[in-house]
Amino acid sequence: AQKVTQAQTEISVVEKEDVTLDCVYETRDTTYYLFWYKQPPSGELVFLIRRNSFDEQNEISGRYSWNFQKSTSSFNFTITASQVVDSAVYFCAHSGGGADGLTFGKGTHLIIQP
Amino acid sequence: EPEVTQTPSHQVTQMGQEVILRCVPISNHLYFYWYRQILGQKVEFLVSFYNNEISEKSEIFDDQFSVERPDGSNFTLKIRSTKLEDSAMYFCASSRNRQDQYSSYNSPLHFGNGTRLTVT
């Protein structure tokens, strides 16, 4: 069965600090997909990234970067120079593809203090 | 940019009552999903729907739940007899393709803003 673990329940940093959110997954799928979603206080789910299991290239998008390491089954998310607007709950998720639903982690509540 | 829309944004119902949550997926999407998030907890998959039938469902999606695509635009989730523990945020989602290597590299799964269901 698939499982996504986000061990950090809550992280609090001061604005402009860098912060890394950890995600570890378990899967028996040979091909799978990993996601990060942001849930701001308003409640909606905002897509950030999808990564295919056969593409281990790391990705950078502005202040966001993702480190996918298949060897350790991790897909960590780093925010550089954090801002107050980054405050949200961040969810990592896994899918085996097809019509499978996403399996979400429990989320990490990120608090950026001014 | 096209959006998945959900109505209502908040619904209050009494225990034992039937409730229907409504969603309008993105128009050229073929796969539809419902997810649930109990307050303060993780988002949980309920059901996926394709070609007018359920593709996959989770253990949560018991006989009290049903989904329907009554016309070409709406996708509904019905809870027949609500329980207190059904109180949650319900998210609808849709995707153009299956989530596989032939899909668009961008977000394959678009979520609506959710309906907060409160059962009293």
Q: What is the pLDDT of residues A16-75, one digit of tens each?
A: 999 999 999 999 888 888 999 999 998 889 989 888 888 888 888 899 999 999 999 999
**Measured CA angle at B22 (ends A107, B116), to 5 deg:** 40
pLDDT at A14 > cutoff 90: yes
Q: Do B111 and A97 touch (CB under 8 A)?
A: no
Q: Do B99 and A54 touch (CB under 8 A)?
A: no
Task: Take residue B36 and report the two structure tokens written for it.
Answer: 């649930």
Q: Is B35 on the interface with A (CB under 8 A)?
A: yes
Instruction: Please give the average per-residue pLDDT across A1-11, as a whole number.
Output: 93
- CA B52/CA A39 separation, integer angstroms: 30
Give residue A99's pLDDT. Answer: 64
For chain A positions 30-49, those within 8 Å of chain B (CB to CB) are: 31, 33, 35, 37, 42-45, 47
Partners of B57 in the β-ladder: B47
Partners of B66 in the β-ladder: B78
Q: Do A97 and B98 touch (CB under 8 A)?
A: yes
Give residue B120's pLDDT. Answer: 97
Give residue B98's pLDDT. Answer: 64
Reported confidence tier of residue A2, pLDDT bands at 50, 70, 90: confident
Residues of B in contact with A104 (CB under 8 A): 42-45
- CA A73/CA B91 separation, integer angstroms: 28
Q: Is A102 on the interface with B (CB under 8 A)?
A: yes
Q: Which residue has the higher pLDDT, A47 or A107?
A: A107
B45 contact partners, CB below 8 Å, separation of at least 6: A101, A102, A103, A104, B33, B35, B58
Residues of chain B with pLDDT under 50: 101-102, 104-106
Size of chain A in residues: 114
Size of chain B in residues: 120
Nearest to A43 among B35, B89, B110 (CB): B89
Residues of A in contact with B110 (CB under 8 A): 47
Instruction: Please give the average per-residue pLDDT across A77-106, as a whole number.
Output: 91
Give residue B40's pLDDT. Answer: 87
Q: Count CB-CB contacts under 10 A for residue A33.
A: 22
User: In angstroms, what CA-CA distances link B110 with A79, B15, B70?
Assistant: 23, 31, 21
Q: Is B117 on the interface with A (CB under 8 A)?
A: no
3-state secondary structure of B85: helix
B115 contact partners, CB below 8 Å, separation of at least 6: B6, B7, B8, B9, B10, B11, B21, B22, B89, B90
Pairs of CB atoms within 8 A across A/B: 71
For chain A positions 43-82, those within 8 Å of chain B (CB to CB) are: 43-45, 47, 50, 52, 54
Residue in chain A lying closest to B53 (CA): A99
